[in-house]
Homo-oligomer: A and B are copies of this chain.
């Protein structure tokens, strides 16, 4: 189905005149092993916890490469930290982000994709990327608040 991610990365590396290294393999594996939205720091910890040693700067540089070759997408929520998500095993989507617990709900919307194309045409704009983010309070956080409020009243 998909071209193997490792293959794709090494093709990218080669075609860019770069070199394959043990560190890059370790980082790619760590990244492919998560299904969350991981920061450079997250990945650096994951790698360290697996008793491998790769410098923070190298994780950072390699994640940029992995994103550049299309295996990762860089997303920023509201905390000023860049996070990466696997693009191969998830289709295009957007995010609902809970302001309380940080939970992230993914969604996709055909309606929005169509509307976006209409807007691009209207403004004669060539789209390279786009992102819709909805911030608010998730159901479980609202429920928890309700419980706390009734407790306060008692």
Residue A115 at the chain B interface, CB threshold 8 Å: yes
Q: Which A residues, 59 to 87, have Cβ-Cβ distances below 8 Å to chain B?
A: 76, 80
* A119 close to B109 (CB less than 8 A): yes
Inter-chain contacts of A96 with B (CB < 8 A)? 119-120, 123, 125
* B130 close to A133 (CB less than 8 A): yes
Residue A153 at the chain B interface, CB threshold 8 Å: no
Number of interface residues of A (CB under 8 A): 33
Inter-chain contacts of A134 with B (CB < 8 A)? 116, 119-120, 125, 127, 129-130
Residue A147 at the chain B interface, CB threshold 8 Å: no
Residue A124 at the chain B interface, CB threshold 8 Å: yes
A residues contacting B by CB (< 8 A) are 76, 80, 96, 98-99, 105, 107, 109, 111-112, 115-116, 119-120, 122-139, 142
Q: Beyond A99-B128, A125-B139: 11 further Cβ-contacts under 8 Å? A: A96-B119, A96-B123, A115-B115, A116-B134, A123-B138, A125-B136, A125-B137, A126-B136, A126-B138, A126-B142, A127-B135
